[in-house]
Amino acid sequence: MHCSIRSHNQGGLFVSSQTIEAPKPKLSRRGGTLYRGREGMWSWVLHRITGVAIFFFLLVHILDSVVLNISPDAYNAVIGTYKNPLLGLGESALVAAIVFHALNGLRIIAVDIWTWATRNQRLLFWIVVVLWVVLMAGFLPVHLHNVFTEPKH
Amino acid sequence: MSATIDAPRTPASGSAPRKRRTNWEKWGWIYMRVSGVLLVILIFGHLFVNLVEGDGIKAVDWAFVAGKWASPFWRIWDGLMLWLALIHGGNGMRTLVNDYAHNVTVNKLLKWGILLAVAILIVLGTYTVTAFDPCPTDPTLSFCK
């Protein structure tokens, strides 16, 4: 790839032309660009997917709460479905999505307003992942125990 | 050699000072961040009290909610969550529609659908959290006196 630069003086009496080599893009890393296929892109993809999932759950969750004002029995029947093991696993997935979306959202805010965070957004992504693992490791045993065993009282 | 460059004939913003319009996209951007931080606090608190404390999901029923909503604290908490989360989610969905729905009709239809869903659920949810009566069946409960 070549690109040529010409310079003219105003009267056109002097014309010089030179050719310089265009910098070759480095392709040392597979898919090796700054963004594509890297932490920045995957955090963005996950933020969208978890966001959409949470939004649709929110719609359902508000509708089930509306039943509160119909009658206690009706509400207990609806909320009872949340207690079966299958939905218990669904709640685990929902909480996993919410915790990621929350932590990554805070990362986005930091990257927007704080130069250090902009430079270290990649590190911050892995901090988000670690915090997500820690919080889920705290939540899952408690929740799954509640879902798969009978309450004590 | 020096060159003199004439001032541009047309001022950048027209002859009269341009009327400043509200930059809604900027306010949307700010809203996502401000509501996002508040929602982290509100939703983590909601999840802790409803799913982690005590018997978690097994303990959640009408009486559990009545106990929480006996105090205005949790009604305000849940009401704030309702408004902030629906608008945050609705605006997020609008972003996705603008990114992926290139057909003008489909784009408009989807955005009207989102607006309608958000508006209806805000009305229904606000009604639920404000009109809820913890004592419709048993007025002898301690918090009903």
Is residue A4 predicted with pLDDT exceeding 60? no
Touching check for B86 and chain A: CB below 8 Å?
yes
Structure tokens at A3: 């690109």
Spatial separation of the C-alpha atoms in residues B91 and B97, rounded to whole Å: 10
**Which candidate from B52, B59, B85 shows the least CB-CB separation from A142?**
B52
Residues in chain B: 145
Instruction: Please tell me the distance in Å from A69's CA to the nearest CA on chain B.
Output: 6
Q: What is the pLDDT of residue A92?
A: 96
Spatial separation of the C-alpha atoms in residues B39 and B33, rounded to whole Å: 10
For the entire predicted model, the pTM comes to: 0.80
Spatial separation of the C-alpha atoms in residues A94 and B29, rounded to whole Å: 25
- Using the structure block, give the residue that is written with the tokens 């927007």: A112
- Work out the pLDDT band at A133, boundaries 50, 70, 90: very high
All residues of chain A having their beta carbon less than 8 Å from the beta carbon of residue B33 are 108-109, 112
CB within 8 A of A84, min separation 6: which ones?
none
Q: pLDDT tens track of chain B, all 145 residues? A: 678 877 776 666 555 666 778 899 999 999 999 999 999 999 999 999 999 998 889 889 999 999 999 999 999 999 999 999 999 999 999 999 999 999 999 999 999 999 999 999 999 999 999 999 887 666 565 556 5
Q: Average per-residue pLDDT in chain A?
A: 84
